[in-house]
Amino acid sequence: MRRHAILAAHAIVLLLATAACTQAPSTARPPRLDVPYVPTHQALVDEMLGMARLGKNDVLYDLGSGDGRIVITAARRYGTRGVGYDLDPERVQEARDNARRAGVTDLVRFEQQDIFAAKFDDATVVTMYLLPDVNLRLRPRLLAELKPGTRIVSHNYDLGDWQPLERKTMDITGINHTLFLWIVPARSAAR
């Protein structure tokens, strides 16, 4: 009996040692996220895309794309090409998996990218669910780099004193959510 217990203990130690040896050491630090991941309810996604008057010829960029639901919904419903940027590699992989399951990988791509370094100047629509300070830091780039007429739709947070063209409040499971729409003005008007 004692011999069986000793053999079992040795087997456990051996299994643990083997498992530890087969796991690659993690030298990469997870990225510091400016915004926590909070998925956007599908009813809000639908309304955001409706506010943007999305069409097949649009190019949508979702800044902080999480699981990819905005970009994927745009591709599935409207045939819109889209790009999602997110810092979290787990969310990027989840978005890619979701796009594959939805059958829209020919229309969308997801990249692990800092939105402050990302390229999105070919967008005709930009969507975002960020935080107020992130929106304000991003605003100068949106105005400087996006073409006049580009639509920007934000979930819950505005762009400071830049007044939205449209604002909608929706009650989702007892919580009010506000959606904002802006259209990038001509360069002379943006200054």
- Give domain status of residue 74, yes or no: yes
- Give domain status of residue 11, yes or no: no
pLDDT per residue as tens digits for the range 40-86: 999 999 999 999 999 999 999 999 999 999 999 999 999 999 999 99
pLDDT per residue as tens digits for the range 160-174: 999 999 999 999 999
- Residue 116's nearest CA partner among 158, 64, 182, 151 is 64
Confidence of residue 36 (pLDDT cuts 50, 70, 90): confident
- Give domain status of residue 12, yes or no: no
What CATH code is carried by the domain that includes residue 120?
3.40.50.150
pLDDT confidence of residue 57: 97
Domain containing 183 equals 42-190
pLDDT confidence of residue 39: 85
- Residue 52's nearest CA partner among 190, 142, 182 is 182
- Give domain status of residue 36, yes or no: no
Number of domains in the chain: 1
Range 21-35 burial, b when 16+ CB lie within 10 A, else e: eeeeeeeeeeeeeeb
pLDDT per residue as tens digits for the range 100-126: 999 999 999 999 999 999 999 999 999
- Residue 63's nearest CA partner among 111, 28, 133 is 111
CA 110, 113, 114, 120 dihedral sign is negative
Distance CA 80, CA 37 (A): 24
- Give domain status of residue 66, yes or no: yes
pLDDT confidence of residue 11: 34
- On whether the pTM is more than 0.85, the answer is no
